Structure 1
Amino acid sequence: MISLPLAVVAVPNTLSVVAGLLPPDLAGAGLMRTHGLALPALMLAVPLAVALTRRVPAAPLLVGALALVAVSDAAGGYAASELLVGVVRVLRGLGSGGVLAITLVAVWDRAPVLRGLWAGVFAMSLLTAQALALWPLDEVTSWRVTLQPYPMVTGIALGLAAVHLVVWMMAGRPVGEGFERGELKRLLLLLGPVAVVAAAAVSTASAGWRSGAVMLIAALAVTGLLGLASVGGVHRRVMAYVMVAVGVVLLPSAAQVTMAEMGGLGGPGLRGLWVAYTVAGVLAILAAVAVRLLARGGGRWLVPLGLLAMVVGLCSVRLVVPSADGMVLTVPFSLLAVGAAVAVTAALQEVGVGAAAYGLTLCCTGVLAGFLLGAGVQMAMLEGVRSPQELVDGFMGALHWWALISGFLMVAIIVLAALTARRPGRDPAVPETPCAGPLEPTDVLLVSAPAGDRLAAEAPGVAEPVVTWGSLSPGDKPAPAVPPPGQSPEDSGSR
């Protein structure tokens, strides 16, 4: 799990913090744009990495993804042009996206606590990504630190992954859970919309864009993500809505609060925030593990509860930020992180690994859409500022407007998820009837009653049961035959 924060820390674009250290021939909007390529690359890497896990085991893929991150760390020390900076950031994004996707697949069919641990650490990583990206930049003397923030942690994570690979090879781990029919194709089809959002976001980094146009593009991106989330059965839709909400809101909100609490703006600075981050992160992990262990199969009601906790956290941001006391921020940080961890864990319990990977892709794309929307709000609030005090007031006003906008967005998604739960839809977990074919010796007739009526197969006068063909491996015992309605088992045996 040490690799999850390492992957998410690649998301924030922190080059502007060390703009004063840039050489004259590199300073400019072009370098800022290429430095921001990590998140678009991460978004595209998630579905591709999941698709690779269908062909290659997760253990060697994880080593490969962390190796890409390590290569980007090493190359970052030699980057001296916009092209090289772009290559380094793309490599880091690809490796980080691979880490997110592969770790999700790797924990899926393991002990239940691991899946909860993944969700909790993922929520904690989104909360702390901006702070972790800024931490190495305190009193630095080289701008290249932004390209290699945690080389030692990368080495440790790569070493642990290599040890896991050796253990996996010696133990002969079983094959993980497969995708449902059509899930892999549906996941890969996301590459098109994700690429469109990435291209639109990168284009806005150029000069000449107005705040209204940026916010419009961001709103269209969020609407498109919610449209993509509306595909599939009830559980799949609810899970996808949750992942979009968490992606759009959590990291962009935490990033703005972190920047607002920097020492230059009157806040306690990063040193004064570490307790609040630690408490919120630990609570998020504990909450996710508890949901996974204690609410298995019955935690659907926890999804709206978690999202509502995030709404309360956004309301508290408007009340307590800015604050000179870092401990006060424990309240909004904990509400945001714990709410996201609970909602994600509860939603993932209802779907398979393919649908979970679909939601993760939407979540990562939502992060970019959230940053884009927040940037548009900041541009609108900072237009025409003429003094340092106006700059601070505009920045804080943008944060408060962002909390209001994202809060209403969360409420809208909660309502949308509730309406989705009432609307009928077929989940992939419901077996489909394949085309008729020759009956093999190992085939067995499976009879399942219509959904919601366990006795339908035995009660006369009700709908006919749905018949599908399943397959038994040699040595398995066939299930006892279920007689048709109105026929006794003795009559069935005599025929």
Structure 2
Amino acid sequence: MAVPSIHRSADAAESGTRLGWFSDAVLALLIVAALPLAIVAIPNTVSVVAALLPDGIDRVELMRAHGLALPAMMLTVPFAALALRRVGAAHLLVGGLALLAVADAAGGYAGSVFLVGVLRVAHGIGAGLLLPATLVAVWARPPVLRALWAGMLALSLLGAQALALWPLDGVTRWQVTLQPFPLLTGIALALAAVYFVLWMTAGRPAAPVALFEERGRLLKATAPAAGIAVLAISTASQDWRAELVILLAVLAIAGVLALASTGDRAGRASSYTMVAVGVVLLPSIAQVTYVEMRGLGGPGLSGLWLPFCVAALLAVAAAVLVRVFAVAHTWVTSLGLLAMLAGLSSMRFLTPSPEGLVLVVPFALLAVGASVALTAVLGQAGVGTALFALALCLPAVLAGYLLGTGVQLTMLRGVTSAQELVDSFVSALHLWALVGGFLMVVVIVMAALLSGRARATQEAGRERQDDVRESGAVAPVPAPAPSPEDGASA
């Protein structure tokens, strides 16, 4: 009687193993497609096609409406992370990509500022669903998938500005800014549907659940996200002085770092790293991309693709190597942040460059450094800690954009000629690299100090325990609470 059931269970186990491998392969492809789609929604590129806008549209209002994607995205991430306690990651993946697909399809018919704002909010919400859903989806899978997620996040932040500008070369309709990669969105949605079917076939395995403390911190993460969103919309709607924008951006970054300082040592390391990568990576590369355009003396997008591709390969390879060799130590995270610091320093000497190949150096240092740092901290953190750090990353991106805008406004003051405009943009980039490098140093020092304080506290606790043992004293052990059965028997 037992032999047939044994054979059936063995066949089921073998089938489940094959299904697991296939599901992991689909998930890996989904990460490669979905993360760039999510991050490419961040840049506001409508100004590039300003000449194609009809006369009846207010260009300033359109730019403000087009910039709503990032505020919507960073407000969605904490709530999506909380929803993952009750809703499977596969559901949010399909829902997020379906929303992006609908927004892409409707983007071709946009003809008013209001509709543009609605579609950009839809892009932000869809992208905000994808980021935590992909992170939770890879968490219980083989560690290499988590490394792939970290590498693709770093790569997506590196190339988001260039990817957003690429479809706009030679276009005849401004609505392309609302549907940059519809084919890739369709492919990602198909992969998400396949993954959903595999997830259902596997018996809907439960996803890791955030701890109670992390759920509370996720709700707190909405506060800086909302505040920075209001600040960004306000500065875009009024003519604020550059000094005031810089001051408010610095205060916003300080607030995000203060919230990142809560939690245990692993939580602080993850949050600091996510904040540093968010503030520095995309805002820096966005400025480099604009400066290297042909109008400012650079090689244009065609000359930037080789540096981007080399940096992409190195970033993903570095993430996988860190994960394969299980190098999840604090010094590895610091090494990654130092590599980003070196990349910012090289920007001051290598940009602008009429030859795009030399940009391999800053691009590779920034991408590899971010990838290594993210992979190392995610190897030490729990899923709740990682989701909280992710919830702080996007407000940091917007704060970085605000700070970079303030620096540019300062440098562009009093410009009267085309050459002065070019020189001012380059000077703003170099000054921004200096500011970003200073921020990286602050984050590294803060992480080291707090890590040392936590380690000293642990050592003091061990010393007290040793003293108790040497004195022969025995610490009182609390009696176990009576169980309901004990109460019933009494």
Same fold (TM over 0.5): yes
Shift in Å, 1:174:
2.3
Q: Which amino acid letter does the alignment assign opposite residue 433 of structure 2?
A: A
How do 1:11-90 and structure 2 match up within 5 A?
11-90=42-121
Are the counterparts in 2 of residues 456 and 465 from structure 1 also a CA contact under 8 Å?
A: no
**1:263 correspondence with 2:261:** no
Q: Distance in 2 between matches of 1:419 and 1:411?
A: 12
Is contact 1:303-1:347 (8 Å) kept?
Answer: yes
Conserved 8 A contact 2:224-2:252: no
Number of aligned positions between the proteins: 448
Mapping for residues 203-222 of structure 1, pairs under 5 Å: 203-222=234-253
**Structure 2 CA distance, aligned partners of 1:137 and 1:271?**
13
1:301 aligns with 2:331: yes
Q: What is the aligned counterpart of 1:292 among 307, 323, 338?
A: 323
Q: TM-score, structure 1 length as denominator? A: 0.87
Contact 1:109–1:177 (Cα < 8 Å) also in 2:
yes
Query: Does 2:387 align with 1:376?
Result: no
- Asked if 1:5 corresponds to 2:36, the answer is yes
Cα distance, 1:38 vs. partner?
0.1
Q: In the alignment, is the contact (CA less than 8 A) between 1:69 and 1:91 conserved in 2?
A: yes
Deviations 1:295-318 (A, max 9, x none): 34x522101110000000000000
Check 1:278–1:465 CA distance in 2 against 1; reply closer, same or farther (3 A cut). Answer: farther
- State how far apart, in whole Å, the 2-side matches of 1:94 and 1:374 are: 25
Residues 201, 372 of structure 1: 8 Å contact kept: yes
Q: Which residue of structure 2 lines up, in the alignment, with residue 477 of structure 1?
A: none
- Percent of pairs with identical residues: 58
Partner of 1:464: 475
Compared CA separation, residues 247 and 468, structure 1 to 2 (3 A)? farther
Superposition RMSD in Å: 2.2
Change (3 A) 1:458 1:426: closer
- Tell me the CA shift for residue 170 of structure 1: 0.8
The change in CA–CA distance for 1:182 and 1:35 in structure 2 (over 3 A counts) is same
Q: Which amino acid aligns with 2:323?
A: R
1:150 counterpart letter in structure 2? F
Compare 417-426 and 315-324 and name the one that shifted more.
417-426
Q: Distance in 2 between matches of 1:9 and 1:24?
A: 28
* Distance of 1:310 and 1:466 partners within structure 2: 49
Going from structure 1 to structure 2, the CA distance change for 1:456 and 1:137 (only over 3 Å counts) comes to farther
* Greater share of helix: 2
1:313 to 315, 340, 343: 343
Any unmatched runs of 5+ in structure 2? 1-30, 482-490
Which residue of 1 is the match for residue 12 of structure 2? none
Are the equivalent residues in 2 in contact too, given 1:60–1:165 (CA < 8 A)?
yes
CA distance in 2, matches of 1:275, 1:112: 29
User: Is the counterpart of residue 356 in structure 1 residue 386 in structure 2?
Assistant: yes
Residue of 167, 171, 192 corresponding to 2:202:
171
Residue type of the alignment partner of 1:397: S
Native 8 Å contact 1:234 1:423 kept in 2: no
Taking structure 2 as the reference length, what is the TM-score of the superposition?
A: 0.88
Unmatched 5+ stretches in structure 1: 431-449, 471-495
**How far 1:319 moved relative to its partner?**
0.4
2:110 paired with 1:99: no
Residue identity in the other structure for 1:328: V
Whether 1:392 and 2:422 are equivalent positions in the alignment is yes
How far did residue 158 of structure 1 move? Answer: 0.3
Q: Is the 2:266–2:377 contact (alpha carbons within 8 Å) kept by the matching residues of 1?
A: yes
Q: Are 1:272 and 2:303 counterparts? A: yes
Q: Which residue of 2 aligns with 1:113?
A: 144
Residues of 1 paired with 2:73 and 2:126: CA distance? 7
SS at match of 2:454: coil
